[in-house]
Amino acid sequence: MGESTQVIAIDGPVAAGKTTVGRELARRLGLNYLDTGVMYRAITWLALRRKVSIADEAGLGQLAQESTIRLVGQDSSTVLVSGERVGPELWEPKVVRNVSRVARVPEVRRALVEQQRALAAEGRMVMVGRDIGTVVLPDADLKLFITASAEVRARRRWQELRDQGQDPDFDQVLEETRERDRIDSQRADSPLIPAEDAVLVETDDLSAEQVTDLIIQQVREQVQKQTQLNSGSGQN
């Protein structure tokens, strides 16, 4: 990879494969990785623990403003939130049920976006979320919007739950997927939409590895274009 691609923004709906692809991309390109979803989950977890009502927007905003979230390790699966170490708890059903509601509170978003920008300030990062290309890092070197049909995403999520030893009902998983899409894409603040200059990656018929290969190809093409532009302007 050339020096020019330092920050890659990845957005897309739930279970589109952003996390798997983002992690693999970061590993293969030697970049840091941040899944911003864990930050919204961490605030949700903290609110439930401190008994701040999910309906109390001011209380949630204050909590987000007071809470510094630090990543533990490289894979965005464990964080320190206000000094407490949290990992698998962030994917527990009670957090999953409430996180979309926490993520639509403007004060929560403002506080977390600020922390996300500070983490990206040093560059060399793949950042994954819903509003990275549109709001958090509008100047990212490459923006990707990874998506797949609701059925395919629900099937992946259903399989994941089965692999964890659960016995999920497919129709219910599909319904929950659609509900989360609805909340994420219809909220007033930073709805889930592709940035105008994002590359759309449709993953219905592709494995995570194929998607990563495709994106690496995009990165190479972009670096090549950049190099041609630079050498062109050098001749003038």
Residue 187: DSSP 8-state: -
CB of 26 to ligand DC, least distance (A): 16
Minimum CB separation of residue 148 from ligand DC in Å reads 14
- Cα–Cα distance between 140 and 136 in angstroms, integer? 9
Secondary structure (3-state) at 109: helix
Tell me which amino acid residue 66 is: E
CB of residue 131 to ligand DC, shortest distance in Å: 5
Q: Which is nearer to ligand DC, 49 or 117 (CB)?
A: 117
For residues 156 and 180, which CB has a smaller minimum distance to ligand DC in the complex? 180
- Give contact residues for ligand DC (rule: CB under 6 A): 14, 36-37, 40-41, 99-100, 103, 129-131, 180, 184
Q: From the CB of 141, what's the least distance to ligand DC, in Å?
A: 18
Q: Give the Cα separation of 134 and 198 in Å (integer).
A: 9
**Which residue's Cβ has the minimum distance to ligand DC?**
37
Cα→Cα distances 28→22, 23, 151, 165, 227, Å: 10, 9, 29, 31, 21
In angstroms, the CA 148 to CA 39 distance is: 24
3 vs 163, which CB is nearer to ligand DC?
Answer: 163
Q: Which is nearer to ligand DC, 100 or 222 (CB)?
A: 100
